[in-house]
Structure formats: structure tokens, C-alpha cells
Structure 1
């Protein structure tokens, strides 16, 4: 699958998962629902790997990386973000998580010495400005207090956890470990982490047998986890974590478009301006870097 298709699948699927998540909230504890989601996703990936005869046996050191990867990206990340939304609205959570691109830029520079072009910074700034403008009407109601600061801190901590997980995923792929078995083990360890957290908190593992809950769980597991994370993490090594991370800025825009048809969301000038800036930033980030005049001169004289 080419990079464009991987990117589009990631953005479209994650832009639609918020609808499914709404059906997960209710009688079942959040920790239990997240555990169910990644348990089903993990089982699906293990079954696929077995059918394709992919290697599933790894060394203790590799399992240590899988555990770190899964705990950070599929466990702690979700735990912190869900708790953040108990103190701040979804708009602030969305904006906070969008800083993942900036955090990934820093981490790829630290861990992998990745050089970042100027256009990535310009495009990222444009996209972040767009997402702030998009949610500006909701931000007007925010009161900066202890609860808001706590929510933002939890959100940024969850985002940092997600970034660490993606850095470990890149390391796994550089060690020639395929995405499917790595994700299968990672989601397994993420599930174990969420089960332990739920037990410590005294949460019960109830289940809702409604059509809405089961359908949304299947969608989040297969599309939101197996397919979207597979595409996203594959892109990490293909086009770089900094470019791939822009998907986290663009998918809230996709969610707004979907909400227009599903929930009758009414657009405003903030919606239009925000989406335009997000799309422009996306084009800048993903465009091929221009050669400098100096390099052109050298190439011409060579």
C-alpha cells in the first residue's frame, strides 16, 4: 500500500472513531472498554500473523520493548487522555494532543538524529493555528483554573506517552520486526496494563450487550486499532514521525466534516478558516522539500 493511501486511511478512520467512542461511554468502565478494545485487536493481529506465518517468538529484550511500546501507546496514553477529559472539554484535549507533532519532532531529533526541514515547522505551525481557530468558540468558555491546568497537564503527559510509544515502534521496525507482530504484542501488553489499572481502581469488568456498544467496540478494535495503527506506525518509518504526526492535527477536521452530516453541526467562519489552515499546513508538511539554491548550483556544475 502506498504512503498516500496509508495516510488517508489513518486520517479518515481516526476522524470517525469519535462517533464510536461515544457509544462506549456509559455503563461500562472506561478502563474496561479500552481493555476490551485492545484485547480484541491483539487477538485479531495474532490470528492474522499466524495465518501469514509471521514470526511471533522473540527474545526477552524484544518483549521488553514490546511492553514499553504497548504500555505507552495503548495503555498509559489512553488512561491519561480519558482522565484529562474529566477536567477539560474535548476541544482542549484535541488541541493538547495535537502537540504530538511537535513532541515527535523533538524526540526523533534526540533519539534518531532526524533533520527537520523548515517546511515541516511552517506547516506544523499553520496546522496548529488552524486547530485552535477551529475550536475557538469552545475555548471562549474555558476558565483557567486548577482543574483546567490539571486536565492540560494530564493531556500533555498522555501525548508524551504516545510519542515515546511511537519512538519505540520506530526502533522495532529498524530492528526488522514487522508491524503486525509488533502491534499484536504491543496491544497485548497495553491490554494487560489497562486490566491491572482497572483492578487497582476497583473497577468491575461489566459488558454491555447492546448493538451500539458491540458494533462500536468492533469498529474501534478492527478499524481504529488494527488498521489505523498499522497504517500510522508503518508511515513512521516511511515518511518520518514528524510528517506522520500531522495526521493527529488533520483528523479533528475530518471529525467536524463527519459531524456535519451525522449530527447536523453548523459551520461558522471559525470552522472554515480553521479547516483551510489545517489543509494548507498538511500540504506544506507533506510536499517534497525544495532544493536550496546552493545545492542546485552544485548539481549544475557537477
Structure 2
């Protein structure tokens, strides 16, 4: 008996609205981050972001009437999600944008589904299909073309290989959080309550990491920085993470990850407008291959899994 979700289920307003909203908001956050790392250590920028987002997430949980008592297993899970998602992932992402344009980092993050599939196979025994591997190869070839073009321009004057490493570490951290939150303990807890505690633990880790790596905090005075913090903390974190993880629970991680396509379109558009990203035959081909490969891979993940001995 198949547990496949019918395609028309995606057309329900309760799915379409958060699907588009998270894709659009996250698409904008990639560009906003570029201003957040201008004149301030990336780790402090991340710490400030979640220092604002954490109390807001607890407030949301209370307003929704959710129980904030998650038990010892819930706190251990929240700690792991906090360290991987709200500390490791964002610290790596912010550092990657010191060396790569925001649109390119967003394109690389579409490969989160590949990391999710591998960890799902490794930790949960989920099957990886042949079509998924084909789609992955197609998408990676497209991303390789985009990075090749990026290396030729090197517009930020940084290290392209280092930017790639930071981005890959960020993807791995986010993938760990994606996979572990779907275990039995996570599914038994209210999403916003779990996320609130995870953000708190992540914020504590962010401040410790920032102090150790960058020294005492000097608060920026630029208005654009604080407007950016408000957008990233409230819209890019408090609004989107509960919507996204709820979608994951309702329609599955594969279907929910389709919003990565919306995210990439918005991110690349903003990178073109504000970062003077240059399009040519190579970059257009790379973007098309990346999206086609992602769609092939995601559709393959929807095939019914087989139980193996």
C-alpha cells in the first residue's frame, strides 16, 4: 500500500500559501545577508539575528497555546537542532557569502535534498533510487558550470574554493537538522515549541562562538543592518521555519523542498539586480541544468519505498 501524496494535495491553500511564502522570503534573505557581513564579524551577525528571533519564537508558541514543556528527550533533540541548524548552518552560510555571490550560494543550497537523501539512507534506511542519482548528477553539473563562471569573475575578491567549502558545511549542518527533527521524538512535539528551544540553544552557541572567534561585540550603527536583522530574524526565521517544517510533516520532505526552486529564482533575480551578477550562455545553461536536475531528483524521491531485508 502506497503512502504517496496525490499531486492535487499541493494545490490546497494551506500548502500553496506557505510553500510560496517560504520560497519568496528565503530567496530574499540570501541577498540581505550580504549587508549583514559588511563591517561586522559573521558570527556576531548570526548571534544578533537569533537573539532577536528566539524570544519572538517563544512568544509565538505561547500565543498559539503550545506547551513549552518538551521533556528531556525533546531538549536533547532541540540542542542538536540548535547546534546544527541555528549555529553551524548559519555561521557557515554567512562565511560562504564573503567569497561567493548570494545567488550562487542559494543555488548550491538546492543540493540540500541530496544531503538529506544520503543521511536518510545512512540513518533511517531510506532507499535512494536510480532516477534520484541521475537527477543529482544533472543538478551538480549545472552547479559546476555556475561555480566555474564564478571562479572566472571572483567578484568579491575572496577565495572561491573556501566559499564552496563553507557552503557545503552549511548544507551538511542543515541536513542533519532536517533529518533528526523527523524522528519519533520530534514528531511528537509541537513544532514551534521544539524550534523555540532549538533557537535558544543555538543562540547560546552563537554567542560563545562569536566571542571566541571575533572577540567582544561592537554593535553596528547602520540603519540597514538593523532593518536587515529585523527581516532575517522575524520573517526569515520566526515566520518561515515553523511553516517549512510543518510542510515537511504534512507533504513530505521531498515535496516541501520544491520551494527551493522559488528560493533560487528570487535569490538569482536579486543577485542580478543588486550584485551585478552577469548572465551568459554558461550561467544560463548551468541554472537550467541545476533546476532540471533538482526536479528529477525530487520527483524520484516520491516513488514508494521498498522494504529490504
- TM-score (structure 1 length as normaliser): 0.80
1:163 is matched with which residue: 154, 175, 183?
A: 175
Question: What residue ranges of structure 1 are gaps of 5+ in the alignment?
Answer: 293-302
Per-residue CA deviations over 1:3-26 (Å, capped at 9, x if unaligned) read 343333332222211221122123
**Is 1:14 paired with 2:18?**
no
CA distance in 2, matches of 1:119, 1:71: 33
CA distance in 2 between counterparts of 1:208 and 1:261 reads: 25
Does the residue aligned with 1:109 lie in a helix, a strand or coil?
helix
| Aligned residue number for residue 300 of structure 1 | none
Contact 1:250-1:279 at 8 Å conserved across structures: no
Instruction: Please state how far the C-alpha of 1:174 moved relative to its aligned partner.
Output: 4.8
Match for 2:88 among 76, 94, 117? Answer: 76
The answer to whether the aligner puts 1:89 opposite 2:100 as a matched pair is yes
- Once the two structures are overlaid, the 10-residue window that deviates more, 2-11 or 37-46, is 2-11
Residues 150 and 54 of structure 1: CA distance in aligned 2, closer, same or farther (over 3 Å)? same
The 8 Å contact of residues 89 and 174 in structure 2, kept in 1 or not, is answered as yes
1:221-253, Cα deviation, whole Å (9 max, x unpaired)? 112112232233223333443554465576344
Question: Secondary structure at the residue paired with 2:127?
Answer: coil
Q: Say whether 1:114 aligns with 2:126.
A: yes
How many positions carry a matched residue from both structures? Answer: 287
Corresponding residue number in structure 1 for 2:8? none
Query: Helix, strand or coil for the counterpart of 1:208?
Result: coil
Deviation of 1:172 after TM superposition, in Å, equals 6.2
Q: TM-score, normalised by structure 2?
A: 0.78
CA distance in 2 between partners of 1:161 and 1:290 (Å): 24
Find the counterpart in structure 2 of residue 295 from structure 1: none
| Contact 1:117-1:289 within 8 A present in 2 as well | yes
Which residue number corresponds to residue 53 of structure 2? 41
User: Residue in 1 aligned with 2:270?
Assistant: 258
Classify 1:201/1:137 alpha carbon distance in 2 versus 1 (closer, same or farther; 3 Å).
Answer: closer
2:289 matches 1:277: yes
- Encode CA deviations 1:230-284: one digit per residue, 9 max, x unaligned: 2332233334435544655763443122233445544312233233333333443
**Residues 80-110 of structure 1, C-alpha deviation per residue, up to 9 Å, x if partnerless?**
3444556x53487556644432221011123
Instruction: State the match for 1:206 in structure 2.
Output: 218
| Equivalent residues of 2:142, 2:287 under 8 A apart | yes
How far apart, CA to CA, are the structure 2 residues paired with 1:136 and 1:153?
Answer: 15
State the 1:219 CA deviation: 0.6
Q: Judging changes above 3 Å, is the alpha-carbon distance between structure 1 residues 262 and 113 closer, same or farther for their aligned structure 2 residues?
A: same
Q: Which runs of 5+ in 2 are unaligned?
A: 1-12, 305-309
- The answer as to whether partners of 1:131 and 1:249 remain within 8 angstroms in 2 is no
Cα deviation for residue 50 of structure 1 reads: 0.9
* Alpha-carbon distance between aligned partners in 2 of 1:34 and 1:168, rounded to the nearest angstrom: 22
Give per-residue Cα distances to partners, 1:51-95, cap 9 Å, x unaligned: 121110121221111011111111022223444556x53487556
Alpha carbons of 1:6 and 1:187: their partners in 2 closer, same or farther (altered >3 Å)? same
Residue range with higher mean Cα deviation, 118-127 or 16-25:
118-127
CA contact (8 A) 1:124 1:246 kept: no
Q: Within 2, Cα distance between the matches of 1:85 and 1:163?
A: 19
The alpha-carbon distance between structure 1 residues 133 and 9, as it changes in their structure 2 partners (threshold 3 A), is: farther
